[in-house]
Chains A and B, each alone.
Chain A
Amino acid sequence: MKEEALTGSSNSANALLAFTGLVVAIFMIIVVYGVDAAVTGVHDTFHDFRHSVGIQCH
């Protein structure tokens, strides 16, 4: 019984983690590393921010 409860709780937590992970991936690609093909100009816009937070740039 207790195991079922734990499994149910764990599933919803995992779904949230998966969703958050997806957001992380998209965020990393578009904002942190800046992909102009995805959103034009975003790479230049976040250039100073990227350098300030110590993410590799060019």
Chain B
Amino acid sequence: MNQNSINLLRGISLGVLSGMIWGIVVLVISSFTQLFAFDFSIFNNIPVFIAGGAGFGLLLGAFLEVSKDKLPFRGIIPNSVALSVSIWILFFGGGLLLHLLTPNRYYLEGHQHLQGFFLSIFLGLILGIFWKKWKDFF
């Protein structure tokens, strides 16, 4: 397949796969760091984190697929990381807006945001590595 052509199936498939793995990683890391008390048990959270991770991964994979030729870096891994962090910043920005509008309901948690930022780098890494390995599979 032409390197420049858009294959959304590839982007979404690789994104969902990386996101599901990332969801488990998020759950494990969050259990270790204990930056906040979980409302649900780890077993209850497993499908939730996998689903949430798959959602993030889907978005990242789809965006990477359609924008891979327009991103600033040469390799797919740095581009994937940059895009993943950008999407996280977009979500964070939305939350920040909610915080500014209703500070009593949505408040800032520095350590959690830092953890989220680094985890977004990790999602980009996972997808970048998968992309490098399996981009021609689709």
A residues with CB within 8 A of B: 12-13, 16-17, 20, 23-24, 27-28, 31-33, 44-49, 51-58
Contacts and interface: CB of A to CB of B under 8 A. Distances in A.
B6 A13 contact: yes
Given A17-B67, A49-B26, A53-B26, A27 B105 contact: no
A49 B39 contact: no
B78 interface: no
Interface of B (DSSP majority class): helix
B77 interface: no
Contact of A16 (B8, B27, B45, B59): B8
B62 interface: yes
Nearest to A45: B48
Specify the main secondary structure of chain A where it touches its partner: helix
B98 interface: yes
Nearest to A49: B52
Please classify how large the interface on chain B is, using the bins under 10, 10 to 19, 20 to 34, 35 or more.
Answer: 35 or more
Given A23-B58, A52-B30, A53-B120, 20 more contacts: A13-B66, A16-B6, A31-B55, A33-B95, A44-B39, A48-B48, A49-B23, A49-B49, A52-B26, A52-B49, A53-B56, A53-B88, A55-B92, A55-B95, A56-B99, A56-B108, A56-B109, A57-B109, A58-B105, A58-B106
Given A49-B26, A49-B48, A54 B39 contact: no
A56 B96 contact: yes
Nearest to B38: A48
B130 interface: no
Contacts of B1: none
Nearest 4 Cβ contacts at the A-B interface:
A54-B116, A56-B95, A52-B30, A49-B52
